[in-house]
Structure 1
Amino acid sequence: MKRLYGLMVCMLLVLFAVPALAQERPYKDGPVTIVTSVKVVDGQFENYMAYLNDNWRRVMDESKKAGLVTEYHVYGAQAHNPNEPDLYLVVTYPNMATFDGLDAKMDPISEKVTKMNFKQADEASGKRTVMRNIMGDMMVRELLFK
């Protein structure tokens, strides 16, 4: 009988120890990157790049100063068919917590830089459809090895 109790205690210890061991991961969560796929309308590449170099870049620079963005990039791509993007906007944020209330954090920055409130900025974004089509966003998170 003592053996049976001893065996049950050992089994219970193993059952509790295995999940504790399984929770130790060889990595930790890192920065979060949003990749926006853009299809630039034919004949509008220079106009769209001028916009990115002006308002978008200034908003990103202010966001970096505020600690909301760690880095940003614009990548050109060679589309192989009309359904593929030819430009990628890549913005990296320090962590997932940055996204909590991000609009409330970004709106004052955008308004300060562009002199437009969020409604005017939204309207301006709609007008940029003559220059580009946003094909979608992808969120990726870097996994940092310990």
Structure 2
Amino acid sequence: MLAILGPATAQEARPYKEGPVREVTFVRIKPGQFNNYMKFLDGPYKANMEAMKKAGLITGYTVYRAQPRTPQDADLVLAVTFANMAALDRSDETDAVMAKTMGSMDQREKGAMDRESMREILGTQLLRELDLK
């Protein structure tokens, strides 16, 4: 029975190929803090993302301004693109790059707490691109 099912299953090709993975973070900027947060993104955040690209840890990053439908929605979206799911497992290399660009773990955690006065992270989602054949 399995011998009969094996060839039939192998012949069923998916109509897509698994592509890059995007980590999408939804951010709500606090009143009066948009320019301050954008300065952070254009400074330390950008430097870190460029170092991650140079190290081959990510393939790209993007910042989107969103139009919130409700007061609870994000007004900024940060997207980081990885070549595939396996690229997410390179945490030791990522930590090494971040230590060079954003300081020690304690410094990064303090920076994240300081940024809470500018923005609120509403959540993060992983999306896998499916390339249609």
Same fold (TM over 0.5): yes
Q: Which whole-Å CA distance do the structure 2 matches of 1:79 and 1:49 have between them? A: 18
The alignment's TM-score, normalised by the length of structure 2, stands at 0.92
Contact 1:41 1:132 in 2 (8 A): yes
Q: Which whole-Å CA distance do the structure 2 matches of 1:50 and 1:15 have between them? A: 58
Give the greater-gyration-radius structure (CA).
1
Where does residue 101 of structure 1 map in the other structure? 90
Q: Which whole-Å CA distance do the structure 2 matches of 1:88 and 1:37 have between them? A: 5
Report SS of the residue matched to 2:116.
helix
Go from structure 1 to structure 2 and tell me whether the alpha carbon gap of 1:138 and 1:12 turns closer, same or farther (over 3 Å shift): closer
- Over residues 65-121 of structure 1, what are the superposed CA-to-partner deviations in whole Å (9 max), with x where a residue is unaligned? 01111111111112122100000001101111111132x11121112123x101210
Where does residue 47 of structure 2 map in the other structure? 58
Identity %: 41
Select the residue among 11, 18, 22 that pairs with 2:8: 18
Shift of residue 140, structure 1, vs aligned partner: 0.6
5+ residue gaps, structure 1 = 1-10
Select the residue among 56, 60, 69 that pairs with 2:58: 69
| Paired positions, count | 133
Report SS of the residue matched to 1:130.
coil
Shift of residue 12, structure 1, vs aligned partner: 6.4
Contact 2:57 2:90 in 1 (8 A): no
Contact 1:37 1:136 in 2 (8 A): yes
- Over residues 15-47 of structure 1, what are the superposed CA-to-partner deviations in whole Å (9 max), with x where a residue is unaligned? 33222223x222221110011000000000000
More helix by share: 1
The alignment's TM-score, normalised by the length of structure 1, stands at 0.84
5+ residue gaps, structure 2 = none
Go from structure 1 to structure 2 and tell me whether the alpha carbon gap of 1:13 and 1:105 turns closer, same or farther (over 3 Å shift): closer
Q: Which whole-Å CA distance do the structure 2 matches of 1:80 and 1:19 have between them? A: 45
Q: Cα RMSD over matched residues?
A: 1.5
Shift of residue 144, structure 1, vs aligned partner: 1.9
